[in-house]
């Protein structure tokens, strides 16, 4: 409807088209424009690929780190199951008493298995491992206590359950000291938390960079089309109409960049997997690297499309406004 001339109607209204047709036309129009923008990218393949590459690689880094952190968590869960408790016995406990204790404890429901290491065996082991050799012979008496290694059942292997079990074991008369081998695990968790924060921060910075890069690319596109935008404004195009093809360009940058990142992440993971199998075999660890599931791929595509749209929105809002017929 015209502002100046009452009764003079514009466009679709003039043709008496129904609302349903208008609705369909709206989507057909948008589809056509999005394909047109895709065609524009195809017409300048080199420039487009560079922008898409920047976006793709920028997403690859946080994406890969995210997967590394996720997998490290999974491995550490494997280790957590293997946590064992070391019980150091009082030095005045005889060998026979110690064996009795082993018998008593092995019937506990929380205990999977127990191995007993007498004090002299422990010294022998220490002699071999430490390389101190003869020096140990000069000791007047064996300074090492006898040790019981208690492996909890899998139900009692979680950090909290295991420390409860440890408290219970400490109550035993023969036990001088008990130690749970999960402190390093707690440290690992703390490190992983820091790593997660770092990945998040890094991702945020890279996303910011991506928005700026796309914004700048779209700015150059706008400058290249300055004459066209001028003519469009002269014949009555609204800003939104002029924005639309650039927004679609941003959308495609984001979408194709996201797919690109997915591919590079897959390649990187395949490469890591292939390289790590030998190393892991040495540690008797079995690791299947979990790649990206559909949820993660979906989130990544959403993020990259979002970044593309944000970059182009910031650019068109600022620069299309500046182009005014003089």
The verdict on 20 binding another protein (CB under 8 A) reads: no
- Per DSSP bridges, beta strands 85-89 and 175-180 are antiparallel
The verdict on 12 binding another protein (CB under 8 A) reads: yes
- Count CB atoms within 10 A of the CB of residue 21: 13
The verdict on 326 binding another protein (CB under 8 A) reads: yes
Sheet strands side by side (includes 175-180): 111-117, 147-152, 85-89, 175-180
Q: What six digits make up the tokens of 207?
A: 């996303």
Long-range pairs for 190-195: beta carbons < 8 A, 24 or more residues apart: 192/69, 192/72, 192/73, 192/76, 195/65, 195/69, 195/72
x/- track of binding to another protein for residues 195-234 (CB under 8 A): --------------------------------xx-xxxxx
Which lies closer to another protein via its Cβ, residue 131 or residue 325?
A: 325
- Exactly one of 23, 24, 29, 200 binds another protein (CB under 8 A); which one? 29
- Exactly one of 69, 102, 151, 237 binds another protein (CB under 8 A); which one? 237
CA distances from 318 to 239, 243, 256 (A): 11, 11, 25
Please state the closest distance from residue 255 (CB atom) to another protein, in A.
Answer: 25
x/- track of binding to another protein for residues 239-268 (CB under 8 A): x-x---------------------------
The verdict on 25 binding another protein (CB under 8 A) reads: yes
The CA-based diameter of the chain, rounded to the nearest angstrom, is 114
x/- track of binding to another protein for residues 283-302 (CB under 8 A): --------------------
Q: Which residues of 27-40 are buried (b: 16+ CB within 10 A; e: fewer)?
A: eeeeeeebeebbeb
Instruction: Give me the residue label for tokens 């979680």.
Output: 158
The verdict on 236 binding another protein (CB under 8 A) reads: yes
Please state the closest distance from residue 39 (CB atom) to another protein, in A.
Answer: 14
Which lies closer to another protein via its Cβ, residue 29 or residue 120?
A: 29
């Amino acid at each position: 409807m015209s502002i100046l001339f009452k009764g003079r109607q514009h466009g679709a209204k003039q043709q008496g088209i129904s609302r349903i047709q208008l609705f369909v036309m709206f989507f057909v129009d948008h589809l056509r424009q999005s394909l047109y923008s895709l065609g524009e990218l195809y017409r300048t393949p080199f420039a487009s690929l560079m922008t898409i590459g920047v976006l793709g690689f920028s997403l690859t880094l946080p994406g890969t780190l995210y997967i590394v952190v996720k997998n490290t968590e999974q491995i550490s869960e494997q280790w957590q199951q293997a946590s064992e408790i070391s019980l150091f016995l009082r030095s005045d406990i005889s060998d026979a008493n110690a064996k009795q204790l082993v018998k008593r404890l092995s019937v506990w429901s929380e205990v999977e298995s127990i191995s007993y290491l007498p004090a002299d065996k422990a010294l022998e082991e220490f002699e071999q491992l430490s390389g101190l050799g003869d020096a140990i012979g000069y000791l007047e008496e064996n300074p090492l206590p006898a040790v019981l290694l208690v492996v909890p059942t899998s139900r009692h292997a979680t950090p909290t359950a295991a420390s409860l079990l440890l408290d219970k074991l400490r109550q035993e008369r023969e036990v001088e000291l008990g130690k749970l081998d999960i402190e390093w695990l707690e440290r690992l968790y703390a490190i992983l938390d820091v790593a997660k924060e770092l990945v998040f921060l890094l991702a945020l910075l890279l996303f910011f960079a991506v928005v700026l890069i796309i914004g700048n690319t779209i700015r150059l596109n706008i400058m290249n089309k300055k004459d066209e935008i001028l003519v469009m404004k002269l014949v009555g195009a609204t800003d939104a109409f002029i924005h639309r093809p650039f927004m679609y360009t941003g959308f495609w940058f984001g979408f194709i960049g996201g797919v690109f990142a997915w591919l590079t992440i897959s390649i990187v993971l395949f490469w890591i997997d292939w390289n790590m199998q030998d190393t892991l075999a040495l540690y008797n660890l079995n690791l299947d690297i979990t790649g990206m599931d559909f949820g993660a791929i979906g989130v990544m595509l959403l993020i990259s499309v979002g970044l593309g749209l944000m970059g182009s929105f910031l650019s068109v809002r600022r620069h299309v406004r500046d182009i005014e017929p003089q």
